[in-house]
Amino acid sequence: MAAQPDMLVDPDLAQRVLARALRRGGDFAEVFAEDRRATSAVFDDGRVEELASSRDRGAGIRVVVGETTGFAHTADLSEAGLLAAAEAAASVARDGESRTVAFGDRKGVAVSGALRPGDSVPKADKIALLARSDDAARSAGSAVAQVSASYGDSRRRFLVANSDGVLAVDDQVRSRLAVSVVAVGDTGRQTGFESVAATSGFELFDRTDVAELAWAAARRALGKLAARPAPSGAVPVVLASGSGGILFHEACGHGLEADHVAKDTSVYAGRMGELVASPLVTLVDDGTVGGEWGAFAVDDEGHPAGRTVLIERGVLVDYMWDGVRARKERRSSSGNGRRQSYRHLPMVRMTNTFLLDGADDPDGIVSRTPHGVYVAKLGGGQVNTATGDFVFGTTEAYLIEDGHLTEPLRDANLIGNGPEVLSRIDAVAGDFAMTPGTCGKDGQSVPVGCGQPTLRISSVTIGGTAGA
């Protein structure tokens, strides 16, 4: 079998490595070879603070025997280097029957659709992009005291070959831009942040108004200079489209990953077929959404990206699966096996996780809310997957009074429980939007997307400093 031009490891060599990995026996073996290039730049207070490029190349070998996994990685993609790693990973097996691997027709090559991958774009163009962002943010007002703009691009090519006969390749190109602004006034220092990111080349910035993005970050910081303390206590909360996706990613999504379910560390374990949310809620994980930050052609185990309906009209209908856990349940992977790099084992991870559109009008949801809080932008947070309890920070919010947005609010926390929040969603609009992010789990980080239309939660606890 001849090597294809974009394959990092010749398929014939991959077969020999898998045979070495299985020579003492084993239920499953896998070769994951990766070549990653990345560029990053930071423009701070009108000057270039950082401009860096990196390349990382290597392979990880995995052998599974029952409930035990052997794993070894190497930066040496030569035959000797790969066979040595396979020998190390195979040490978990003892006196089993050796076998060979045939890929047959189960092979696929995915070619990136990026028009201008970042590694083909001059660094001067990237710096010019940051300078434009800096100028636009500073033009928003004299109270803007500090602007930091960051750019990043990456190209990740990998090959996966395993003892099930899978041979797959993907070429993932991503680009991002973020702007952070500090404004200073009588109430002290306030911050604003905005970003854009996509599974795309530099052409992302042909369709993105970079000045508008930077201005939005500055407007967020300037607006909070006049903000009043957020209320405290349980109030209705309206989440703007896209902004609240991170809440559902963290508070619900992680609990729907099959490894948490198998370990009984998920509040959703054993609840398949039950009503776990409002009937207005349909939650989906979809790695096939073209251009979104968590999109790809195949996952890091070589399975095609998939679309998995997790909660349908409030009913729990499925979990997210990687290959190893799916094998134990005698079902197919959902395309959610992901890893940070060749140095890491894959695990169940989200891709693009979001709530589907409803039938309400976003302005109508606000007008039907006599009193509450409108969250235009959520920040980071944390969740206990076993209980569903969460805490998330707001970075842009407004008071709702008599069905109208009135005063801006200082940053506060949303405190609640994932299943309870899902059950309290009583209005969902049709203005769906996505937000890019980075998901951390067990020391590994991967790009993900999250999103939702404008929706209302009938009651959420706000950890503000004013009375409710």
Give the SS3 label for residue 17: helix
Greatest C-alpha distance within the chain: 75
Do the beta carbons of residue 103 and residue 11 sit within 8 Å? yes
Over residues 304-352, the pLDDT tens digits come to 999 999 999 999 999 999 999 999 999 999 999 999 999 999 999 999 9
**138 φ, ψ to 5°?**
-70, -25
Could you tell me the pLDDT band of residue 169, with boundaries at 50, 70 and 90? very high
260-276 pLDDT, tens digit per residue, is 999 999 999 999 999 99
- Give bridge partners of residue 352 from the DSSP assignment: 449
Q: How far is CA 214 from CA 118, 179, 182, 225, 229, in A?
A: 21, 6, 12, 18, 26
DSSP state of 59: E
Q: With contact defined as beta carbons under 8 Å apart, do 41 and 123 qualify?
A: yes
Structure-token match 């992977």, residue found: 333
pLDDT tens for each residue of 99-156: 767 776 555 566 678 889 999 999 999 999 999 999 999 999 999 999 999 999 999 9
Q: What angle do CA 181, 182, 187 make, to 5 degrees?
A: 145
Question: Residues near 270 by Cβ (< 8 Å), separated by ≥ 6?
Answer: none
Domain boundaries, the chain: 11-226, 232-463
Q: Which residue has the tokens 């890091």?
A: 300
Extract the tokens encoding 355. Answer: 């709530």
C-alpha count within 13 angstroms, C-beta hemisphere, residue 184: 3
- Could you report the per-residue pLDDT of 396-438, keeping only the tens digit for each? 999 999 999 999 999 999 999 999 999 999 999 999 999 999 9
Q: Give 25: exposed, middle or buried? Use CB within 10 Å, 0-12, 13-18, 19+.
A: middle
Taking a C-beta distance cutoff of 8 angstroms, is the pair 165, 1 a contact? no
Q: How many residues does the chain have?
A: 468
> In angstroms, what CA-CA distances link 332 with 89, 104, 255, 274, 324?
25, 19, 20, 22, 10
Q: What is the pTM of this model?
A: 0.93
What CA–CA distance (Å, rounded) separates 32 from 162?
9
Burial class (CB in 10 A: 0-12, 13-18, 19+), 84: middle
Instruction: Please determine, for residue 163, whether its predicted confidence score (pLDDT) is greater than 60.
Output: yes
pLDDT in tens, 24-52: 888 999 999 999 999 999 999 889 999 99
Lowest-confidence pick of 275-284, 355-364, 455-464: 455-464
Class (C level, CATH) for 11-226: alpha beta
Work out the mean pLDDT of the chain and round it to a whole number. Answer: 92
